[in-house]
Structure 1
Amino acid sequence: MENFVVSARKYRPATFRSVVGQQHVTTTLQNAIASQHLAQAFLFCGPRGVGKTTCARILAKTINCEFVEQHVRQGRPVSELIQTQPDIVPTALQQAADPDNTPFELEACGKCASCRAFQESASFNVHELDAASNNSVEDIRSLVEQVRYAPQQGRFKVYIIDEVHMLSNAAFNAFLKTLEEPPSYAIFILATTERHKIIPTILSRCQIFDFNRIKVDDMRKHLRYVATQEHIQAEDDALHLLAQKADGGLRDALSMFDQMVTFSGQNLRYQDVVQNLHILDYEYYFRLVDALLTENLSATLLLLDEVMQQGFDLHNFVVGAAEHLRGLLVCKDPVTVQLLEVSDNIRARYVQQAQAAPLAFLLSALNLVSLCDREFKQAKNQRLHVELTLMKLAYLNGAVQFARDLQAAPANAPQASSDNGEAKKKSSVNPEAAPAPVVAAANGQPSTNGTAVSPTRAAASSPPLAHAPADPEPIVPVESGVEELHDTPSVEDEAATQVPPTRLVRDTVPHVDTGRPSVAGHEPGDAPVVAAPIRPLPSLTKGLGVASKLPSLTAMKEQAARQSAAPKTAVIEEDAPSAAAGSLPAIDDARLQQVWNELKELRKAGSMSEYTVLNRPVQADERHVIVLRVDNPVQEDVFNDFRADFLGELRRRTGYPRLTVQVEVVEQQSTGRKLYTSADKFEYLAEKFPALVAMKQRLGLDTDF
């Protein structure tokens, strides 16, 4: 019975033209031979099974071919060689009409004595060394001794050292001199899969050729050629799956091809390859995405259980899902479909499913699956981790649509009730219809922000009618909730909170906290107005449990009507005794201390840092200025944060609208040196009482006590 030869050896390329997927290397080597610019050392690097050793053997065979010697080096024309030595001329050139002018790729003839000896593995000019088992200094020394002898036949002696990265550092160093300056007839070809392990001194002496991973389509074509030669009926999907599983190595693809042929016979089918190689089929992922797009969580979880029952690894399933989503993403655009390395039938299914999957779903799903891939190793319950990701993916379409609806809804539109019947509360006051925050009353009433403004200046700046509130929008009835359709009664006694009007003075001193004249005074040249009562602030009244009074729509309309009906030039002045500028009433210190302590205790309930700042003695001078001395700038910042609320409440409760607070940072006085040890304490006492030194010496005492 004839011995079986594996396809990787039986169909190993014998010429440069038959090398698969490495045209950039073969073209360079052919040009180097034709131009006679061969280097003394070559380094072939790349992954396994891509043709490094094969190209090294083809190069060794070609440079010693008699046809190359006669035609290239001696310059004899092809027509002359056909007449004198037809046995060394390639068949293609012999059949050409004009062989001298026929372009051809420089290849070994395969007919001469040197080529036949090489094909029979009997050539004395080609020496192969496996550096994995011959990596010592003695092996390299033996190789160097062989280099000294010239070839008996042919022009070159070629030394092919495979897996050269396995040589020891001492062997590399012993090989340096010979590699840099070999004899004219010696050529070294080094092959390795790990270029980074070779020392730089070796790299600098070689021409480096990087072999690429072989493309899936190129491997599929070569497998089709092998199947045709072996008379095997093979499906394109099966051959494509073998090429994809080989991961760029043609030798791996041929080995799997032999295995599949042994399993299925002369008819190689796609299902046989999937079953025998234990590969997750594309069908699983197409079913997975179909279930996710229809939000069928049950089918998704059952599919995951089926995958586990088949014995597949969960991590491989997650990685495959990410690759499938990536394939759908590139199929969204016809320009990028070519990036998908699958067969034509599978590519058509990818395009069909990509049209049904929204782009937002694919991007979000790919992000979730990538996150699951990164966190898979750290998960304690890995199946639950994958199931949670599938649950999120199952309802991802609904979440994306909900986000789009939120973005499409106008920002000022009222919120509709939710699906479960829960109604959203809606404010009864239209913010667009509310009066402007700085509107002055023509009859001397306070403005909406609580400050009194001169009527003459208000009339000159803007007409009252321009700021009148518009009619409110109709209130949309809701299923639940209470609408503000009437005035909210206040639990606060207005008579007790308002400060009775007092005499008006001119404010010539800038306000401490704003730098402007006080709101209770007026600038020189203006008519005096009545000081507006200061309303309680929400931050302090909230702590006391007192609700603020909100004006209703009816009240605001009546107020706007009164403002529009009042004459613009009317100026109402309150009969108040005139006072000299700068004269202020005396402050009741007991009342001030009582109010300060009350506000201090209120702040204590909310913030201890605010209480610490206020917990210190204070006193107001004749200009109604309270100097608050703090310990550091941090306390000054704390007080400035609540200064406005605190100062307004202090003025309201004490009845002094001109009262203000100045903050001063007290510099810490140095307390002198620190006494830690007994010797330090004794020296300190001895400075005050010199007799202690004499007592210590007389009694022989020690400072350690």
Structure 2
Amino acid sequence: MPEYTGRRPIRMEPFIVSARKYRPQQFEDVVGQQAITRTLLNAIENDHLAQALLFCGPRGVGKTTCARILAKKINEDGNQRDGEDFAFNIFELDAASNNSVDDIRNLIDQVRIPPQVGKYKVYIIDEVHMLSQAAFNAFLKTLEEPPRHAIFILATTEKHKIIPTILSRCQIFDFRRITVGDAASYLKYIAEQQGIEADEEALHMIAQKADGAMRDALSIFDRVVSFAGNKLTRKAVAENLNVLDVDVYFESTDHILKGDIPALLIYFNEILAQGFEGHHYINGLASHFRDLMVCTSQETVALLETSESVRQRYLEQASHCSGEFLLAALDLANQCDLDYKTSKNHRLLVELCLMKLASLTQRQKKKARNGEDAWLIPAAAFHNQTPPPETVSEPESTSKPAAGAQEGAESSPETVGSAHQTTESIPESKDMPESKDIREPEGAEQSQSPDNQKETSAPAGPKETPAPTLPVGKKKSGQKVSGLSLSSIRAKKAHKASRHHAAPNPEDLPRDPFEESELQALWKEFAEQTEKRGRKILAASLGTDLPKLIGDHVIWIELPNSTMKKEVERDQFELMDFLRTQLNNHHIQLKITVNEETAKQFAFTPEEKYQKLREKNPAIDLLRKTFDLEL
């Protein structure tokens, strides 16, 4: 008889996992697939159900569950007992292990037998994409024309592996991933059923870890309950799932925003000491920046899948982050993620990324102090507006200023006009040139030559000594000089007028007659000079044809292609200046045409060269045949 040790024996009671215990028994209980369940219910009620259905989607989203509910639903007639599952009418086949032609033939033989109880026999083939090509072909005929009492439900996670002939015979239902909100709500319901106190943030963490699969969420829930007992907290879930808590990223971002590099590196060292990898940390930090980015706009806050309390923390921290900072931070974190696998020193790579992130805010503050940011430029700078009054300086003059006006003082345009009534008045705004035409490059001299000063003197009115001007951007003692000074405006207007008066009348230019031979000789001379200067393409284009004279002043040249035409047109001004000067005729014009037929006179290929030679001397053909020559 064994010795009694005083310990109570451990009694192992059968445990049913939540994925099986809480498997939905009605379409109303299916999570996150309302569109599909409503469609199937309406099809059953209206007797509009297809005999071949294909359920496809990610793992753990309810494909097999919906197939079983459908198989049970179509056999109900109101007379069945409670809990009747019609097990004799439902046949499940795992195509992953029964994927041969013989397995499909056995299935086809069973299909012929009508059901003993109920109206339909339902065949659920799970993982149907695992069937072999021969098995698919053996299944085609039966799937297209099954007996009236048979309904096939195919389920798969990889629809692209199913042959098109099978897809065309099925009514396809695409199941979607379970959202984090739906999964968290269902987990909350299960926790209430089991009497477990669970934090909302802990359930959201489990739902995010499941990545859209309800079965995975229930498996994680069972594991965490075994670890933490009847009270699930966020820290307990994070510890059991070996994931970093969201507090880690909030605190890291606080250090980054403060630019506190030493504290950030020490905090990262504590994370590594807990056994987490740097790759895992930098991935989570990039996701945190993404969540902060979506919180910067009210339209994108809905993209944040988390609990309400954590959402408020994101909104609060996002209010301290600029869009430029978050975009740069995302770029740095993503680049670190890409370089992690190829780096030999993983810790140094992540630490370097963290130091760059912490330096972003310091660089932005420095730019803001120096006024380098684009948004610090005044809006008036983007428009053609007159500068502020202090940038317009009063021109020096020998005439005395009006009473009350101080010499060299800064004044507005109105003050300048009233103080100098004896001098030339300021032009009207419609005559003033635009600011982009007035401003000169920094350091450019605006002083005029003596001849130019004579031309710019006023024809009437009191004499006025021209004011010496300074380069734009340079200051005289006690005075500011601007590109909009009155002296520069007058000088530009006078220079424009002098150029207008200096332009000769076209009718007064010489137009001496000339011969076509003289024109062709000068044309050849210009082509030779062009070739000597190294511009051989232009010289070759000019040498393809001699110009012809049309009328008295039109020079016509015919080129073999448009490329040569463009080459001559690019330098036609230099050519025409040469011809007008030599011929003493400033009325001549150039006309260029393209004739593709002229290109045939040039033999570019060996065959064309041979044909040209044979036309000149037919005996060359005999020479080629005699000696068996090749081109």
Offset at 1:194? 1.6
Which shifted more, 218-227 or 179-188?
Answer: 179-188
Determine helix, strand or coil for the equivalent of 1:190.
Answer: strand
Residue of structure 1 in register with 2:148 after alignment: 184
Contact 1:137–1:171, Cα closer than 8 Å, also in 2:
yes
Whole-angstrom distance in 1 between the partners of 2:262 and 2:587: 71
Contact 2:261–2:355, Cα closer than 8 Å, also in 1:
no
Q: State whether structure 2 residue 177 is matched by structure 1 residue 245.
A: no
Residue of structure 1 in register with 2:194 after alignment: 230
TM-score normalised by the chain length of structure 2: 0.62
Residue of structure 1 in register with 2:131 after alignment: 167
Relative distance call for 1:683 and 1:326 in structure 2 (3 A) is closer
Offset at 1:142? 0.7
Residue of structure 2 in register with 1:354 after alignment: 318
Contact 2:510–2:584, Cα closer than 8 Å, also in 1:
no
Determine helix, strand or coil for the equivalent of 1:129.
Answer: strand
Whole-angstrom distance in 2 between the partners of 1:447 and 1:474: 16
Offset at 1:367? 5.8
Residue of structure 2 in register with 1:70 after alignment: 79
Query: Partner letter of residue 280 of structure 1?
Result: L
Residue of structure 2 in register with 1:568 after alignment: none
Query: Partner letter of residue 405 of structure 1?
Result: L
The equivalences for 1:192-211 within 5 A come to: 192-211=156-175
- Give CA deviations for 1:432-480 in whole Å, capped at 9, x if unaligned: 89999xxxxxxxx9879x9x99x9xxx9xxx889xx9997899899799
Which shifted more, 383-392 or 41-50?
Answer: 383-392
- Give CA deviations for 1:89-127 in whole Å, capped at 9, x if unaligned: xxxxxxxxxxxxxxxxxxxx32xxx34xx6xxxx32222
Q: State whether structure 2 residue 254 is matched by structure 1 residue 290.
A: yes
Relative distance call for 1:479 and 1:196 in structure 2 (3 A) is same
Determine helix, strand or coil for the equivalent of 1:57.
Answer: helix
Relative distance call for 1:661 and 1:221 in structure 2 (3 A) is same
Residue of structure 1 in register with 2:375 after alignment: 404
Contact 1:682–1:703, Cα closer than 8 Å, also in 2:
no
Determine helix, strand or coil for the equivalent of 2:88.
Answer: coil
Whole-angstrom distance in 2 between the partners of 1:360 and 1:302: 26
Relative distance call for 1:474 and 1:380 in structure 2 (3 A) is farther
Determine helix, strand or coil for the equivalent of 1:5.
Answer: coil
Determine which of 141, 156, 159 is the counterpart of 2:105.
141
Whole-angstrom distance in 1 between the partners of 2:128 and 2:492: 99
Residue of structure 1 in register with 2:411 after alignment: none
Contact 1:469–1:557, Cα closer than 8 Å, also in 2:
no
- Give CA deviations for 1:182-206 in whole Å, capped at 9, x if unaligned: 3333222221112222233333333
Query: Partner letter of residue 235 of structure 1?
Result: D
Relative distance call for 1:473 and 1:178 in structure 2 (3 A) is same
- Give CA deviations for 1:475-513 in whole Å, capped at 9, x if unaligned: 899799xx999xxxxxxxxxxxxxxxxxxxxxxxxxxxx
Query: Partner letter of residue 234 of structure 1?
Result: A
- Give CA deviations for 1:390-441 in whole Å, capped at 9, x if unaligned: 3774456345862222465736879xxxxxxxxxxxxxxx9989999xxxxx
TM-score normalised by the chain length of structure 1: 0.56
Contact 1:291–1:394, Cα closer than 8 Å, also in 2:
no
Relative distance call for 1:3 and 1:161 in structure 2 (3 A) is same
Relative distance call for 1:396 and 1:203 in structure 2 (3 A) is farther
Determine helix, strand or coil for the equivalent of 2:38.
Answer: helix
Offset at 1:251? 0.7
Contact 1:292–1:395, Cα closer than 8 Å, also in 2:
no
Q: State whether structure 2 residue 292 is matched by structure 1 residue 328.
A: yes
Query: Partner letter of residue 119 of structure 2?
Result: R
Whole-angstrom distance in 1 between the partners of 2:313 and 2:167: 48
Contact 1:135–1:168, Cα closer than 8 Å, also in 2:
yes
Offset at 1:255? 1.0
Contact 2:184–2:207, Cα closer than 8 Å, also in 1:
yes
Whole-angstrom distance in 2 between the partners of 1:559 and 1:160: 92
Whole-angstrom distance in 1 between the partners of 2:256 and 2:511: 80
Offset at 1:149? 2.3
Residue of structure 1 in register with 2:30 after alignment: 19
Determine which of 116, 120, 137 is the counterpart of 1:156.
120
The equivalences for 1:269-668 within 5 A come to: 269-296=233-260, 317=281, 319-334=283-298, 336-363=300-327, 365-366=329-330, 383=349, 386=353, 390=357, 393-394=360-361, 397-398=364-365, 402-406=373-377, 408=379, 410=381, 633=565, 636-637=568-569, 639-640=571-572
Whole-angstrom distance in 2 between the partners of 1:70 and 1:152: 15
Contact 1:361–1:396, Cα closer than 8 Å, also in 2:
no
Whole-angstrom distance in 2 between the partners of 1:675 and 1:210: 66
Q: State whether structure 2 residue 14 is matched by structure 1 residue 3.
A: yes
Relative distance call for 1:609 and 1:277 in structure 2 (3 A) is farther
Whole-angstrom distance in 1 between the partners of 2:493 and 2:36: 92
Relative distance call for 1:407 and 1:306 in structure 2 (3 A) is farther
Contact 2:332–2:357, Cα closer than 8 Å, also in 1:
no
Offset at 1:291? 3.8
Relative distance call for 1:289 and 1:408 in structure 2 (3 A) is farther
Offset at 1:260? 1.7
Identity of aligned residues (%): 43
Determine which of 223, 227, 233 is the counterpart of 1:259.
223
Offset at 1:346? 0.9
Whole-angstrom distance in 2 between the partners of 1:42 and 1:277: 37
Contact 2:202–2:237, Cα closer than 8 Å, also in 1:
yes
Whole-angstrom distance in 2 between the partners of 1:239 and 1:673: 80
Residue of structure 2 in register with 1:42 after alignment: 53
Which shifted more, 313-322 or 232-241?
Answer: 313-322
Relative distance call for 1:126 and 1:636 in structure 2 (3 A) is closer
Unaligned runs of at least 5 residues, structure 2? 1-11, 389-431, 440-449, 502-507, 514-521, 544-552
Which shifted more, 191-200 or 679-688?
Answer: 679-688
Offset at 1:214? 1.5
Q: State whether structure 2 residue 36 is matched by structure 1 residue 29.
A: no
Residue of structure 1 in register with 2:405 after alignment: none
Offset at 1:285? 3.0
Whole-angstrom distance in 2 between the partners of 1:157 and 1:657: 107
In the alignment of these two chains, the number of paired residues is 515
Query: Partner letter of residue 41 of structure 2?
Result: Q
Query: Partner letter of residue 636 of structure 1?
Result: V
Query: Partner letter of residue 4 of structure 1?
Result: F
Residue of structure 1 in register with 2:70 after alignment: 59
Offset at 1:240? 0.8
Contact 1:365–1:396, Cα closer than 8 Å, also in 2:
no
Whole-angstrom distance in 1 between the partners of 2:344 and 2:584: 68
Offset at 1:70? 3.4
Residue of structure 2 in register with 1:127 after alignment: 91
Whole-angstrom distance in 1 between the partners of 2:166 and 2:105: 16
Offset at 1:163? 1.0
Determine helix, strand or coil for the equivalent of 1:160.
Answer: strand
- Give CA deviations for 1:299-338 in whole Å, capped at 9, x if unaligned: 5566666666666566655554443333223323445433
Relative distance call for 1:190 and 1:583 in structure 2 (3 A) is closer
Offset at 1:179? 2.6
Contact 1:214–1:250, Cα closer than 8 Å, also in 2:
yes
Relative distance call for 1:610 and 1:231 in structure 2 (3 A) is same
Relative distance call for 1:395 and 1:208 in structure 2 (3 A) is same
Whole-angstrom distance in 1 between the partners of 2:434 and 2:607: 70
Whole-angstrom distance in 2 between the partners of 1:408 and 1:277: 53
